[in-house]
Amino acid sequence: MFPIKKLFRNIRARRFVYESLVRVVLSKNALLHNLHIFENLCAPARIAPVLKSNAYGHGLLTIARELDKQRPVFFVVDSYYEALMIKNEGVTSEVLIIGYTRPEIIQNAKQAGIIFTIVSFDQLKEVTKNITRQTRVHIKIDTGMHRQGIMIDKIAEAIVILQKNKNIHVEGICSHLADADVKNSQYTESQITAWNNIYKTFSTAFPTIKYAHIEATAGTRYVGEVVMNVARIGLGLYGIDSYEEPSESLHPVLSMESIVVGIKELKKDEGVGYNQTFHAHTDMKIGIVPVGYFEGIPRELSNKGCVKINDTYCPIIGRVSMNMMSIDVSGVDDIAEGDAVEVISNQRESKNSVKSIANMCGMIPYEVLVRIPEKIRRVWK
């Protein structure tokens, strides 16, 4: 990190010291454990940690600084903005932007250590018009996902365009599997066959290509079938996977903690929260937790989710509000304001784990994680 910037950050940290009511707790041991799981699974290919969307809700800069110590082949982000955030913090690892970048930014970018992905044929034509300095790129090929990528029937023409501009250095090629989380998918097999042939074409045209990557977390089940030397690992890195193996070996990295900020005695038939969607079936005790849908807790958990205090699950009652929720604490002995609340658990089988919350709300784990806002403090344990 740049010395002056580091000095100002330290001064600011001392000036604004306070204990957050809500915080995201990250397990360093779990993160590194998951990284090593995939390193072993994909060897000799290297792992490119995916940090897009605020590192899947875990905190872009927090995760980048820690994984930078592991010397990854490169980080993967979605946007130029994310890449600049990382590099401006003094992170030394290179950063690959996997999403679309405006041609004028690619043409004028001067920040060292940032690599761009060409994601369409039209973008390729536009970028190559005015490139006047050496620029490293990865070329994305559409092998069947039909989102981004140069279509297979445009590859020959794309290679001609790339070869004409000596300022474009094709450092890698990439693609994405559409159906990798489905076991024995014939569609995935067809993509892999197409990809392996495409790699031969590109490696012949550009013998200096360093990187080939198509596998994300779910795609690692196809190690051995795919020509690649880098695996882009996102959700699995954070301890959550969308298929059987190696999910049982992964450790969720993230949990969320808060405290009880209020306790009320509720009489039978009294209602709670907006629209009084909950009424007490008997006299009961409720607690208030300063976490709501602004903090990333789905409103869909109203009247069916839970949090945990000590070893007791406490049901969420009434509507989840913007910045708070009500919970049933009748089963918690000696409950008091200030008691710790586990809002999201990092234990896979807990009723308030990311996967449990996603299942309860009809979501996927990605949605639960990326809803957690940047403003919540991330701390390591």
Domain count, the chain: 2
**C-alpha 124 chain-centroid distance:** 27
Is there a single domain that holds both residue 334 and residue 318?
Answer: yes
Is there a single domain that holds both residue 233 and residue 340?
Answer: no
Question: In this structure, what DSSP letter does residue 37 have?
Answer: H
Question: In this structure, what DSSP letter does residue 354 have?
Answer: H
Kindly state the average pLDDT of the residues 16-21. 77
Predicted confidence (pLDDT) at residue 9 exceeds the cutoff of 80? no
Is the CB of residue 288 less than 8 Å from the CB of residue 317? no
Is there a single domain that holds both residue 209 and residue 259?
Answer: no
Is there a single domain that holds both residue 217 and residue 262?
Answer: no
Residue 130's pLDDT is: 86
- Tell me, yes or no, whether 233 lies in a domain: yes
Using the 3D structure, point to which of 230, 249, 268 is the last residue of a domain: 249
- Tell me, yes or no, whether 19 lies in a domain: no
Residue 272: name the closest of 309, 313, 315 by CA. 315
Kindly state the average pLDDT of the residues 293-319. 97
Kindly state the average pLDDT of the residues 130-138. 92
- Tell me, yes or no, whether 8 lies in a domain: no
**C-alpha 105 chain-centroid distance:** 24
Q: Which domain holds residue 266?
A: 254-380
Using the 3D structure, point to which of 226, 249, 272 is the last residue of a domain: 249
- Tell me, yes or no, whether 1 lies in a domain: no
Provide the strand spans (E) within the chain. 23-26, 46-49, 75-77, 95-97, 114-118, 135-142, 150-151, 168-174, 211-213, 230-233, 254-259, 262-266, 271-272, 278-279, 284-289, 306-309, 312-317, 325-328, 340-344, 377-380
Is there a single domain that holds both residue 59 and residue 156?
Answer: yes
Higher-pLDDT residue of 5, 285: 285
Is there a single domain that holds both residue 329 and residue 230?
Answer: no
Return d(Cα 63, Cα 57) in angstroms, integer.
10
Residue 364's pLDDT is: 95
Q: What is the mean pLDDT of the chain?
A: 94
Return d(Cα 61, Cα 9) in angstroms, integer.
14
**Residues in Cβ contact with 364 at an 8 Å cutoff, skipping those fewer than 6 apart:** 242, 358
Is the CB of residue 33 less than 8 Å from the CB of residue 251? yes
Confidence of residue 14 (pLDDT cuts 50, 70, 90): low
Using the 3D structure, point to which of 227, 249, 271 is the last residue of a domain: 249
Residue 10's pLDDT is: 62
Is there a single domain that holds both residue 299 and residue 204?
Answer: no
Confidence of residue 3 (pLDDT cuts 50, 70, 90): low
Is there a single domain that holds both residue 74 and residue 118?
Answer: yes
CATH of the domain at 337: 2.40.37.10
Confidence of residue 25 (pLDDT cuts 50, 70, 90): very high
- Tell me, yes or no, whether 11 lies in a domain: no
Predicted confidence (pLDDT) at residue 32 exceeds the cutoff of 80? yes
Neighbours of 320 (CB within 10 A): 24
Is there a single domain that holds both residue 308 and residue 356?
Answer: yes
- Tell me, yes or no, whether 9 lies in a domain: no
Query: Residue 264 in 3-state DSSP?
Result: strand
Neighbours of 151 (CB within 10 A): 13
Is the CB of residue 250 less than 8 Å from the CB of residue 256? no
Is there a single domain that holds both residue 172 and residue 198?
Answer: yes
Kindly state the average pLDDT of the residues 1-28. 73
Q: Residues 166-215: pLDDT tens digits?
A: 999 999 999 999 999 888 899 999 999 999 999 999 999 999 999 999 99
Is there a single domain that holds both residue 293 and residue 218?
Answer: no
Stretch (H or E) spanning 203: helix 186-205
Residue 183's pLDDT is: 86
Residue 132's pLDDT is: 87
Residue 6's pLDDT is: 62
- Tell me, yes or no, whether 73 lies in a domain: yes
- Tell me, yes or no, whether 168 lies in a domain: yes
Q: Residues 221-266: pLDDT tens digits?
A: 999 999 999 999 999 999 997 655 555 699 999 999 999 999 999 9
Residue 2's pLDDT is: 56
CATH of the domain at 110: 3.20.20.10
Is there a single domain that holds both residue 126 and residue 210?
Answer: yes
